[in-house]
Structure 1
Amino acid sequence: MSAPAHPLIGWFAALGVIFIWSGWVVVSRLGVVQTLTIYDMVALRFVVATVAVAPFVWRYWPRNLRWWQIFLISCGQGVPYLLLAFGGFQFAPASHAGIMMNGTLPVFAAILGWIWLKDRPDTWKVAGMAVILVGCALIGWDRDTGGVAPNAWIGHLMFIGSALFIAINMIGTKAWQLTPMQAMVCIPTVNLAWFGLLYLAFLPKAVQAAPWSEIILQGAYQGLGPSVVAVLLFTTAVRSIGPSATAAMMAMVPGMVALLAIPVLGEWPSLLAWAGLFLATGGILLAAGWRPVKV
């Protein structure tokens, strides 16, 4: 196992993830409201990513882990996570996704870290989680933001479910000391191995009807951004500065998503959404270790 990177590298890695994830939420929401099915988007992601990492699979495959450990970590940023996220985009706007997914992520990370790694959260972290839940509750009531469907609550539940899978990936990566290169090669290959056949045989497709511009955008961004570059950066951050600090950096994602969604998707957040965003961001920072006063 390689040693964890210097903390400064970890912070820069987390910053890179913020930019990629913010763009991913907006690009994914755009893809869902266009021609491709969510299954097309998942398939494009893992086909492109697997081709990109193919030269490194043999060298960096995590042979020190058991098959179920590899499968669990891979699903954490794999098909279940993506289907829940993409499914949620069909009911709720990008700003809701940014808050629900990134807001509940540190909550799940703290709970799983307590159970799995015996890392008990302190009072400030618990307070932060409570603030996050209040912010998410406000988002649950929001029906005035552009792009909100009447049954947006379905999308909200899907976003929360996707955050749980990411938290499983984070804690598993930390517990089993998965390196960035190992994560990069196993996540797309494992998911394509079992999802590819299922997609070709049974799932609805719209690739033939979609314009090439849409296919290239989704394939390139989904397959190279979150699946390759972000996995490297994300795993580096988790191993260097830890799951909680990495989750804290994600506090910047909801705000960036909300701002990007205005010009790209025309989704203007309501006042209730901005209030939920403000609370969730503050709660994420508290849950991840930031303190408003010296203690």
Structure 2
Amino acid sequence: MNKVVAQQVIAPEPRILSPIVMGYIAIGIVLLVWSGFSLTVRAIGASNLTTADVALIRFGVPLILLLPLLPKRIAPIKTVSLSNLLLILLGGIPFFFLAATGAKSVPTAYVGTILAGTPPFFVAVLGYCFFHQLVSKTKLVALLLIMLGVFSMILGQSGPISTSVLDGVFWLMLGSIVWASYTIGLKQAGLDPISIALILSMVSFFVLGILICFGLLDSNFGQFSLLQAMPFLLIQGLGVGVIATLGYSYAVSQLGSSQSSVIGSLSPGVTAMLAVPVFGESLSLAIVFGIFLTTCGVVFSNR
């Protein structure tokens, strides 16, 4: 007589949040971190920390936290060509100091809009000039819309445009070009986000240490408290250095690169709104209109 063995089927516990929802939460956190980057580089001038001090925090924290993951990534990192490695390193010290220099003399909304909005335009320009990559008419219109938003924001401000504002815009635009070059290096290198973060952190931290030791960069290390450094530790070090790197990668895996980029394009608007209570800045009609045009351009360029 055959025995029928009843097997108990254990149903998997239902997930509280689906992967898609987790993806939206991740990109939402990344969005806040990106806005925090613009706010903190704007705040360097009013703190006891120098730009070099904040840069050490920006690259030192992820270096400490991600260093245990280095051994498994040494082999793929060695395969990266020198040209792509140099492009990737542009996203470290060069971009940070250009962003910090430009942020000193312009409203925070300019920082967020230029740094987050204009890189797609410069990626397309560099791709056409150096790699003969054609741009469709639809995308070209979207990219021009981005720049129209930036210029309308600047030209639409009340009163004459000061030299300091133009200087700030120049450095931010140069930072955007550098970031676009970094983006091209990322695509060609094909490394995972942690490997990229390790490369940036190790090289940037080492170079910064040498420049500070030889007196080529000013540092107020020892002249500020942990409490004064805490916003930079949380936002620049932990947020930008680790959370944004891993969070954006996770969001892309769940939502796709296009949708993640579209949501990320909201960063200038979030930055401008946060600057109102943080720095007491006002949102003029020109700034709101410029952010709107730039955001639309980024959204359409990712379709």
TM range (shorter): 0.7 to 0.9
Match for 1:66: what amino acid?
Answer: S
Contact 2:52 2:208 (8 Å CA) reproduced? no
Cα deviation, 1:7-53, whole Å, max 9, x if unaligned, reads: 99877655443221012211221233222111211122112221111
Shift in Å, 1:269: 1.8
Which among 100, 104, 110 is matched to residue 86 of structure 1? 100
Contact 2:139 2:300 (8 Å CA) reproduced? yes
Work out whether 1:187 is the aligned partner of 2:203: no
Cα deviation, 1:193-216, whole Å, max 9, x if unaligned, reads: 222211232211223333331212
Match for 2:154: what amino acid?
Answer: G
* Structure 1 pair 241–117 and aligned structure 2 pair: CA distance change class (3 A): farther
Give the whole-Å Cα distance in 1 for the aligned partners of 2:68 and 2:122: 34
Contact 2:108 2:271 (8 Å CA) reproduced? yes
* Structure 1 pair 176–91 and aligned structure 2 pair: CA distance change class (3 A): same
Match for 1:174: what amino acid?
Answer: K
> Which residue pairs with 1:3 in the alignment?
none
Work out whether 1:111 is the aligned partner of 2:134: no
Q: Which runs of 5+ in 1 are unaligned?
A: 1-5, 290-295
Shift in Å, 1:226: 0.9
Give the whole-Å Cα distance in 1 for the aligned partners of 2:20 and 2:134: 22
Shift in Å, 1:258: 0.6
Larger CA Rg, structure 1 vs 2: 2
Which among 207, 223, 226 is matched to residue 209 of structure 1? 223
Contact 2:51 2:97 (8 Å CA) reproduced? yes
Which among 50, 58, 62 is matched to residue 49 of structure 1? 62
Equivalent residue pairs, number: 280
* Structure 1 pair 149–90 and aligned structure 2 pair: CA distance change class (3 A): farther
Contact 1:10 1:241 (8 Å CA) reproduced? no
Give the whole-Å Cα distance in 1 for the aligned partners of 2:97 and 2:57: 13
Which among 116, 137, 144 is matched to residue 151 of structure 2? 137
> Which residue pairs with 2:247 in the alignment?
233
Comparing 63-72 with 213-222, greater Cα deviation is found at 63-72
Work out whether 1:18 is the aligned partner of 2:31: yes
> Which residue pairs with 2:176 in the alignment?
163
> Could you state the TM-score of these two structures normalised by the residue count of structure 2?
0.82
Give the whole-Å Cα distance in 2 for the aligned partners of 1:9 and 1:112: 34
Work out whether 1:101 is the aligned partner of 2:115: yes
> Which residue pairs with 2:286 in the alignment?
272
Shift in Å, 1:184: 2.2
Which among 127, 143, 152 is matched to residue 165 of structure 2? 152
Cα RMSD (Å): 2.8
* Structure 1 pair 257–108 and aligned structure 2 pair: CA distance change class (3 A): same
Which among 70, 74, 90 is matched to residue 85 of structure 2? 70
Give the whole-Å Cα distance in 2 for the aligned partners of 1:175 and 1:9: 29
